[in-house]
Structure 1
Amino acid sequence: MSNRMLPSRRAFLAGSSAAAVVAGLSGPALAQDKGQVIASVFGGDYGDILRRTVDEGIMAPEGYEVIQDISSTEARQTKLRTERRRRNASFDVAVLADLDMFPMAQIGALTEIDEASVPRLSAVLPALRKPYAIPQIYSYIAILYNPEKVDTPPTSFADLWDPKYKGKVGVSDALHVATSAVASLVAGGSMSDFAPGRDKLLELKNDQDVKILPSNEAIAAAFDSGDIWITVNYVSRAYSWKKSGLNIERAVASEGAIPIAFEMAVPTNAPNPEGAIAYLNAALDPSAQTGFAEMMGYLPTVTDAVLDPELEAAIGLPVEDRDRLLSLDEAYLMEHQAEILDFWNREFKG
């Protein structure tokens, strides 16, 4: 994806306005030019959907020219850290996963928001609300399984420890935090204490012969080959894999669903803070929310975005499950992340 800046919207509007006068055209007034909004975002399908639904679909008609700054999570965090004492940051909006956004809030790099500044926050699911970012899209950890091999749909995360699945359980190395959280829940722990789950992880290793695969893509390949039958992963992944032909189903665990949200925030020194706040509000519009659900399988974070019934059946959460989302304790993870990863690498994988 190109990172070239788009042609100036100011020049475009000026030329269009002049042409309309010369031609004697009548119609609604052109939106007032409100300047550029630079959004530091992911590329690929994500950036394309964002451009279509938010940048062009909502912000452009309101008079904003949106420039996408395509970068990695690490690059975005580095800029937020290093630029926060400058007069102006290099972008207006930052997109990060929830666990990556939290440390940025802790160092004071993000603008606080509320319903007065972002009116669409009133429609956001309560479990996903933050004072420093909006949840743009989300998915959740569930049990994914091959229905040809697992004839009775699982009901609990504890089913991964069922002896009948010995040798056929797989977990993704990329999801060490989520898998550790699942083990903690099975052991009676919580999102704020993963220690009880360590013995359960060792049981997966020693008693279940778990396959620890290097990536989510490797999980999909192992399902396809029959090497694994059951795992825990995000439903958005299952949606994509199923669209590509993989025979896979999802079951919401009785313990609850563990969400991951991709969030948007505004640096405290954003060059165009008014435009940045407008961008956050636009990202919560139902039309933008449903666009990501249809293309990538991520759920809307707002209550008034209506999905097609078939799509809702594939990725949705019943209302009662939305009310009991088991959010990870970001403060706990920030303090204990090195310890959690060390156990995973040395004891579980070693």
Structure 2
Amino acid sequence: MSTNIGRRTLLGAAPLAAAALAASARPARAGGQVVVGTWGGDYAELLTRNVEKPLLAPQGIEVLQDIGSQDARKAKLIAERNGRRSSMDVVHLSDTDMYQMAQLGVFDDVPADIVTNAKNIIPALHRAYSIPHIFSGQVILYNPDKIKTPPKGFADLWDPKWKGRVGIPDLNYPAVTFGTAIMAGGSMGNWEPAKKALLDLKKNKPVVYPSHEAMAQALKAEEVWIAPMWLARTYMWRKAGLKIAHIVPEEGAIPVIFEAAVTKHAQNKANGWAYLNAMLDAGAQAGFADRMGYVPTVTNARLPDDLAAQIGFTPAQQAKFNVPNYEYQAKNLPAILDFWNREFKA
């Protein structure tokens, strides 16, 4: 089953550059190394299993994974942007962070004639400066043994019946904040209504969990009955045996896209483009879908119907996606984080 997103679902995505880069960006030889700044854990292991060993090793390309946090990768990009060489050839970031870094001019545009699998990217996910690897969306998960009537949307987190049973993932503070803003009358371009609403939520005694792993343990122990979370993560936990169900909020889901780009001063640029091309391989993307629950970003990836039903979004749900306003988020995330830490979590 193929997964498609209409042009109206992810508005504002920049078109992929069709022109090739200069001759220096073209592959000069096979083999060599490529340094990839990425996340650890399952993501890194799946890159090795689905991308690096089957697709790049046969080309003689040795992958060196530089594992760390998004903030660490962003700090490197900023520190090295005026230098002659980058310590990373390929960088993995979320869509919002990738947009922020792209504004600093630290990436080369993706050459469509070299990264040939880019032709299969879902049109609405095109970026000039990066390729979309996998995506998911924010849903409301809940314990069906404790909450007999399925919730309808974000507003259910404020229901006094669930006082002390609401979980909030600290790492997802931007999506939680904007989901709250939309529920309270704001938008992806106006987070102000979220301030009062989140302070009101404190009356329900929500517990903010510092990691997704901590949230999973709380769900397993039935300390948390309801929480906002990425659908992909919900799928992984359900697959691991947690008793949870989910609904797509009636206000609309907020999508998250994980992307990859090649740095402007990459030392192994040709291998960087080969890496991006391999990430867009249909088989590699299907491997991530089955293990991590993220939806492929290419039109030629095929998923079993039952898997697509568990991790995907219907056309109607896609049409209601609340697409991030990247420029607005880039300007306002520092203030949002300050409010989150100083007032909401206080």
Does TM-score exceed 0.5, indicating one fold? yes
Pairing partner for 1:43 from 25, 40, 43: 40
What is the CA deviation profile of residues 140-179 of structure 1, one whole-angstrom value per residue up to 9, with x for unaligned ones?
1101000111222223222222333333222122222111
Match of 1:54 in 2: 51
What secondary structure, in the 3-state scheme, does the structure 2 residue paired with 1:287 have? helix
What secondary structure, in the 3-state scheme, does the structure 1 residue paired with 2:64 have? strand
Distance in 2 (CA, whole Å) between partners of 1:101 and 1:186 is 27
Q: 1:117 to 1:174 in 2, by over 3 A?
A: same
What secondary structure, in the 3-state scheme, does the structure 2 residue paired with 1:94 have? strand
Distance in 1 (CA, whole Å) between partners of 2:66 and 2:339 is 36
Match of 1:203 in 2: 200
Distance in 2 (CA, whole Å) between partners of 1:63 and 1:214 is 40
Paired AA for residue 225 in structure 2 = W
Match of 2:117 in 1: 120
What secondary structure, in the 3-state scheme, does the structure 2 residue paired with 1:290 have? helix
Q: What displacement does 1:212 show?
A: 2.7
Q: Is the 8 A contact 1:127 1:327 kept in 2?
A: no
Match of 1:246 in 2: 242
Distance in 2 (CA, whole Å) between partners of 1:146 and 1:63 is 48
User: Which of the two has higher C-alpha Rg?
Assistant: 1
Distance in 2 (CA, whole Å) between partners of 1:198 and 1:100 is 23
Q: What displacement does 1:324 show?
A: 4.0
Question: Greater relative contact order (Cα 8 A, min sep 6): structure 1 or 2?
Answer: 2
Q: What displacement does 1:282 show?
A: 1.5
Matched, 1:186 2:183: yes
Paired AA for residue 233 in structure 2 = R
What secondary structure, in the 3-state scheme, does the structure 2 residue paired with 1:87 have? coil
Q: Is the 8 A contact 1:294 1:311 kept in 2?
A: yes
Distance in 2 (CA, whole Å) between partners of 1:227 and 1:123 is 43
Q: Is the 8 A contact 1:118 1:277 kept in 2?
A: yes
Matched, 1:257 2:253: yes
Paired AA for residue 99 in structure 2 = F
Q: 1:78 to 1:315 in 2, by over 3 A?
A: same
Q: What displacement does 1:268 show?
A: 0.8
What value does the CA root-mean-square deviation take over the aligned residues?
2.1
Match of 1:66 in 2: 63
Distance in 2 (CA, whole Å) between partners of 1:114 and 1:184 is 38
Distance in 2 (CA, whole Å) between partners of 1:346 and 1:273 is 42
Q: What displacement does 1:63 show?
A: 4.4
Match of 2:216 in 1: 220
Pairing partner for 2:155 from 155, 158, 163: 158
Paired AA for residue 141 in structure 1 = Q
Q: 1:115 to 1:33 in 2, by over 3 A?
A: closer
Paired AA for residue 304 in structure 2 = D
Match of 2:101 in 1: 104
What is the CA deviation profile of residues 162-205 of structure 1, one whole-angstrom value per residue up to 9, with x for unaligned ones?
33333322212222211111110101211111101222112211
Q: What displacement does 1:283 show?
A: 0.5
Q: What displacement does 1:112 show?
A: 1.4
- The aligned length equals 318
Q: Which runs of 5+ in 2 are unaligned?
A: 1-28
Distance in 2 (CA, whole Å) between partners of 1:127 and 1:322 is 11
Match of 1:92 in 2: 89
Distance in 2 (CA, whole Å) between partners of 1:157 and 1:210 is 14
What is the CA deviation profile of residues 93-124 of structure 1, one whole-angstrom value per residue up to 9, with x for unaligned ones?
11122222222111110111254443333332
Pairing partner for 1:234 from 223, 230, 233: 230
Matched, 1:332 2:328: yes
Distance in 2 (CA, whole Å) between partners of 1:167 and 1:42 is 32
Q: What displacement does 1:216 show?
A: 2.3
Match of 2:21 in 1: none
Paired AA for residue 226 in structure 1 = E
Distance in 2 (CA, whole Å) between partners of 1:86 and 1:347 is 39
What is the CA deviation profile of residues 217-274 of structure 1, one whole-angstrom value per residue up to 9, with x for unaligned ones?
2322222232221110112221222222210111111222212222110011212322
Pairing partner for 2:308 from 297, 303, 312: 312
Paired AA for residue 328 in structure 2 = Y
Q: 1:125 to 1:217 in 2, by over 3 A?
A: same
Q: What displacement does 1:132 show?
A: 0.9
Paired AA for residue 62 in structure 2 = E
Match of 1:132 in 2: 129
What is the TM-score with the length of structure 1 in the denominator? 0.83
Matched, 1:294 2:290: yes
What secondary structure, in the 3-state scheme, does the structure 2 residue paired with 1:85 have? coil
Match of 1:171 in 2: 168
Paired AA for residue 269 in structure 1 = H
Q: 1:128 to 1:323 in 2, by over 3 A?
A: farther
Q: Is the 8 A contact 1:127 1:325 kept in 2?
A: no
Distance in 2 (CA, whole Å) between partners of 1:318 and 1:303 is 15
